[in-house]
């Protein structure tokens, strides 16, 4: 896999990073909602640099997130010397979750961040911060409403960091997630209104792990009905599916996971493609 070259951060961007640390320092103590993704890892690093031991990390353990993400979160907290607390999140206990309504993310985020607030208070911390960035404001994200209602802080949005700026600063600071692919919870692979189940989540998780192991960096496996997989990859990766042997290996693996039909989305990877059906 080729590495991305990031330019050195501009003086303006370095100034933003200083503002971020100053803002975090002003909070005194913080609990960082930490998923091991690009944004929350950068936020955790900055919080550690600003506050030292006055930072804890909170990570959800849920069927909506692959175990590899939890392991990466645990390892990085150890590397930074940050206390890390894993919160068990039973999403199927949330009323209506399985029915997957358009505002599903609101209910999930609200339950999860209520648990995060409780855990933070147990450690004498009143400020919980999360990693939304400026680019996240351009899509349908009902989870933001839950975050606002609960008083969760979004320092990267407040200071005005874009995703690309976060990647540039992460590379500059030696943060290992600078080139990590964007990820969203596995529930986002389901069309709104289609039933979410443990079995189908497991099918999607295994299918995406297969593509990750095959060397794909940015992709999604969307599930339709009970047995149709729609693969989204970057357009530059389309050529790999022109190889008969590779296509057959993908089909055989996905068949083993429970899919009967496997398709390639001709538009390619894009975030929030399930939102395209919303009016």
128-182 pLDDT tens trace: 999 999 988 766 678 899 999 999 999 999 999 999 999 999 999 999 999 999 8
Name the CATH architecture for the domain at 11-173.
3-Layer(aba) Sandwich (3.40)
pLDDT at residue 118, rounded to an integer = 98
CA distance 71 to 74: 5
pLDDT digits (tens, 9 = 90+) for 169-223: 999 999 999 999 988 899 999 999 999 999 999 999 999 999 999 999 999 999 9
CATH class (in words) of the domain with range 186-277: alpha beta
Dihedral, 135, 140, 141, 145 alpha carbons, nearest 10:
110
pLDDT reported for residue 215? 96
Say whether 185 is catalytic: yes
Catalytic choice (63, 105, 108, 185): 185
Please indicate whether the domains covering 11-173 and 186-277 agree at the CATH topology level: no
Domain ranges of the chain: 11-173, 186-277
- In sequence order, the 6+-apart residues with CB closer than 8 A to the CB of 225 are 194
């Amino acid at each position: 896999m080729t590495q991305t070259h990031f330019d050195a951060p501009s003086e303006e961007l370095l100034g933003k990073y200083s503002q971020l640390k100053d803002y975090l320092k002003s909070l005194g103590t913080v609990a960082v909602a930490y998923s091991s993704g690009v944004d929350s890892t950068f936020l955790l690093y900055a919080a550690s640099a600003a506050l030292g031991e006055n930072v804890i990390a909170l990570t959800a353990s849920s069927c909506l997130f692959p175990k590899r993400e939890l392991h990466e979160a645990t390892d990085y907290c150890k590397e930074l010397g940050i206390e890390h607390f894993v919160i068990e999140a039973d999403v199927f206990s949330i009323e209506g979750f399985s029915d997957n309504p358009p505002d599903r993310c609101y209910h999930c985020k609200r339950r999860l961040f209520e648990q995060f607030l409780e855990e933070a208070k147990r450690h004498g911390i009143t400020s919980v911060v999360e990693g939304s960035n400026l680019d996240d404001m351009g899509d349908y994200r009902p989870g933001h409403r839950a975050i606002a209602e609960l008083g969760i802080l979004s320092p990267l949005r407040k200071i005005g960091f874009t995703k690309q700026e976060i990647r540039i600063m992460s590379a500059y600071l030696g943060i290992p997630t600078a080139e990590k692919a964007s990820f969203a919870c596995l529930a986002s692979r389901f069309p709104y209104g289609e039933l979410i189940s443990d079995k189908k989540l497991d099918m999607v998780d295994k299918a995406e792990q297969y593509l990750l192991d095959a060397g794909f960096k940015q992709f999604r496996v969307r599930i339709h009905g009970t047995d149709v997989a729609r693969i989204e990859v970057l357009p530059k990766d389309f050529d790999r599916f022109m190889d008969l042997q590779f296509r057959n290996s993908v089909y055989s693996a996905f068949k083993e996971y429970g899919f009967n039909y496997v398709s390639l989305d001709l538009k390619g990877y894009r975030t929030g493609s399930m939102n395209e059906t919303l009016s």
